[in-house]
Structure 1
C-alpha cells in the first residue's frame, strides 16, 4: 500500500487503566485498527497529565500513578479514519478526548511480502 496526499490524524487521549473486555483499552484499539487494515497506529505513554476530573497523573516518584496518560495516534485516508471513529463509539464511554486533524501525508509505504 502506498499513501500520499491529504489524510487525517486521529488522536485519542485515554488513561492507562482504561479497559475493554478485560484487556487494556489502548491494546484493544490497536488490534481493532490493525484488523480494519489501517496504515498504522502508534501508542504513546505520557509522563504527566490530567483530564476531566482534574486529577494529576504523574511519573514523579512521590506521586507515582498507575493511570498515566495514553495518546493513540492513527493516520490514514479520511474515509478509513471515519470508519474507525464509528467503531470507537462502542469502546469508549467517558473520560477521553478524540481529536481529528487534516494532515498532508508525505510518504507511506510498507515492504512488499
Structure 2
C-alpha cells in the first residue's frame, strides 16, 4: 500500500485540551480511525529556535516527543484538515512510503 510516513515533533510540557499534546494527537488518530500511531520520547534535541530540549533526572517537562503514523493519502487529508481546525502549532515531516504487513497476521486479543 502507498501512503505517507508522518512524524510530528513536540515536547512533553506542551498541552492541548488538558492533555499532553503528543497524547492528544495519538487520541485524535484513534478517533479518526487511523491504523495506528506511536508516541515516543527522546533524550535530547533542538528545534528551529536552537533551544535545547532534553530529559533530565529531575525535570522531564521539556523532554522531546515524536508521534509517528503510516497513513494513506485519504487518511492524511483527514488528519491535516482536523489539525488545521485546532489552535495548535506542530512541526512535521511527511514523506511518501510503501507500507504493509508481511508474514502471518497476529491474532487479535
Counterpart Cα distance in 2 of 1:64 and 1:24: 15
One of 85, 92, 101 as aligned partner of 2:95 = 101
Residues 2-81 of structure 1: pairs in structure 2 closer than 5 A:
5-59=1-55, 64-81=59-76
- Normalised to the residue count of structure 1, the TM-score between the two structures is 0.80
Instruction: Kindly indicate which of the two structures has a greater share of residues assigned to strand.
Output: 1
Point out where structure 2 has 5 or more consecutive residues left out of the alignment. Answer: none
Counterpart Cα distance in 1 of 2:80 and 2:41: 21
Aligned residues: 107
Point out where structure 1 has 5 or more consecutive residues left out of the alignment. Answer: none
Contact 1:57 1:65 in 2 (8 A): no
RMSD in angstroms over aligned alpha carbons?
Answer: 2.3
Following superposition, which runs of at least 4 residues in structure 1 exceed 4 angstroms of deviation?
108-113
- Normalised to the residue count of structure 2, the TM-score between the two structures is 0.83
